[in-house]
């Protein structure tokens, strides 16, 4: 599994935006959400593993749309600890699986998962 870290330059102040229908909301666009994703890794893994059956079912369904041997690259953007990346890699064994996440600790967990699962 290939892993990449995406970084972005600040886009300027996104602040609160008013809408003509009378409400406002803030846009974070993936920037500092105040969450420590590295510390949330065990929770993210547990949640993904609980839903693992549904993810495997979805991956199997995708395999009915495209022959698994015809898929050469999988891109999991926002991969977190790589649970779903690993499910997709199992479903499409001929593909290179690429995990992309902005949190180095999560990518390290994805790397360890990939190594452990071969």
pLDDT, tens digit, 9 for 90 and up, residues 52-83: 888 899 999 998 998 888 999 999 999 988 98
pLDDT at 7: 40
Question: For the whole model, what pTM was predicted?
Answer: 0.64
Q: Is residue 10 part of a domain?
A: no
Tally of domains within the chain: 1
Q: Is residue 99 part of a domain?
A: yes
Q: DSSP readout, 83-100? A: HHHHHHHHH-TTSEEEEE
pLDDT tens digit sequence for 79-107: 988 989 999 999 999 999 999 999 898 99
- In the chain, how many H helices and how many E strands? 4, 5
Q: Is residue 26 part of a domain?
A: no
Higher confidence at residue 49 or residue 24?
49
Q: Is residue 4 part of a domain?
A: no
Domain extent for 90: 37-118
Q: Is residue 32 part of a domain?
A: no
Q: Is residue 109 part of a domain?
A: yes
Give the domain CATH number at 118: 3.40.50.150
Q: Is residue 59 part of a domain?
A: yes
């Amino acid at each position: 599994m290939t892993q990449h870290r995406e970084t972005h330059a600040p886009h300027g102040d996104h602040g609160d935006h008013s809408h003509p229908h009378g409400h406002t909301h803030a846009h974070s666009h993936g920037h500092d959400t105040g969450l420590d994703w590295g510390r949330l890794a065990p929770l993210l893994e547990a949640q993904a593993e609980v839903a693992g059956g549904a993810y495997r079912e979805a991956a199997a369904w995708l395999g009915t749309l495209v022959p698994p041997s015809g898929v050469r690259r999988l891109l999991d953007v926002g991969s977190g600890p790589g649970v779903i990346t690993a499910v997709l890699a199992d479903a499409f064994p001929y593909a290179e699986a690429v995990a992309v996440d902005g949190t180095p600790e999560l990518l390290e967990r994805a790397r360890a998962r990939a190594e452990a699962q071969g």
